[in-house]
Amino acid sequence: MALKNVKSGLLEMTDAEIFDLLVLYADHCRKLNDPSGFKFFIDGFKAEEEDVLQVLPEKEDQSLLGYHARMKALFPDYCLVCDELLQVNHKKQHLLTEFTDELYRHVGFPNRFSEMGLYLGNYRKTPFGVHVDSCGVFSFPVAGVKRFRLWKPEYVKKNPSLDRAFKYEKHKKASELLEARPGDMTYWPSSAWHIAESDGSFSATWSLGVWVDQPHKNMVAGSLKGLLDGKLGTTGAKVATAFKSLHSETGEVRELPDSYVQAIELLKNLTAEELQETFLKSWMQHISSQGFKIVPGAGVKISAKSRIRLRSKKSLILWQHGLTGKGVVYFSFGGATVVSKNSGGLLKLVQALNAGDECLVGTALKGAGLKEDLRSLQVLSDAGAFA
């Protein structure tokens, strides 16, 4: 679908905002001498990683159009792709969560994540041709006119030559063309095959991709892995299995090695509380990123003298009481989880922070557990919890 003049806080993500995010992340990549998260295409061909750092946006470009002017002088057809703008999106992250919170309320929480991406340039067609992703895409142009051509999966199944195609004149009648300008929004589901088209004019579009390629059975298996790792101990780390006999003379396999028999007993003896705690911890860790691939870190260093508050009143530190250990409390933010044993002070501090208070760390945390609690707070801080 294509919606015109959308009324959404997401429109605060203007071309100027996107340019600032691009420069921030480009500076980060230059500092590390690593362009991961960026891809650059020239006339449809992907540039080598070592060359990408030379063509990233700079503050001196002043705007997206300024960057385009510099690139256009070098390349007649180029495309810059960035998939990591979430890493530096501190100020506007709340706009994304307001949008996704309502989205997830209607369609469910994604088993993988949502991510923010960007395409800009004067490329005439998406550099990798007609393709399909495993994510539904909400797209927001911030400069120029953006056109997307889409096909239903049933049509592509009957016409497999469309996969990665650049020439598809005979298939245009079966497609749908979406056109959007700044202030508009387009959306297509994960099943839609698509390609972006252009007449060679400059355009810049950021998007929110919601990945839907993680089935529930994988979530369950992932949750159990941590539990089994702890239960199996050194046996679980062995790379060879001792056995009495592989099979009978007829080839029949009728007995398990002792390590498997022991695993069966272990599984039979799992309690309902252990399973409940395992799944609850896994679910809490998963939702602590609010459905995003990454939560921007703020880099706040924690000490007893620190005065801290939550980065956002809508981004709470999640917590839960342990079910199998007395006095154990788990805390999670941004995909990071810490455990506290017999520290009521840390729980009270987190509850006060979640209530919107600004807190002096040393007032809440004292005594023998101070160092451990400070380490836990630093983990949560590194994950982006505090401002």
Domain ranges of the chain: 2-211, 216-231+259-286, 288-387
Burial-class residue 384 by CB neighbours within 10 Å (0-12, 13-18, 19+): buried
Tell me which architecture the domain covering 2-211 has in CATH. Sandwich (2.60)
- Both tokens of 295, joined, read 């939560």
d(CA 184, CA 140): 6
Which letter does DSSP use for residue 128 in this model?
Answer: T
pLDDT of residue 24: 95
Beta strand 78-82 with 135-143 is unpaired
CA 348, 354, 358 angle in degrees (round to 5)? 80
Distance between CA 119 and CA 104 in Å, rounded? 25
pLDDT in tens, the chain (387 residues): 999 999 999 999 999 999 999 999 999 999 999 999 999 999 999 999 889 999 999 999 999 999 999 999 999 999 999 999 998 888 888 899 999 999 999 999 999 999 999 999 999 999 999 999 999 999 999 999 999 999 999 999 999 999 999 999 999 999 999 999 999 999 999 999 999 999 999 999 999 999 999 999 999 999 999 899 999 999 899 999 999 999 999 999 999 999 999 999 999 999 999 999 999 999 999 999 999 998 887 778 999 999 999 988 889 999 999 998 888 999 999 999 999 987 689 999 999 999 999 999 999 898 888 999 999 999 999 999 998
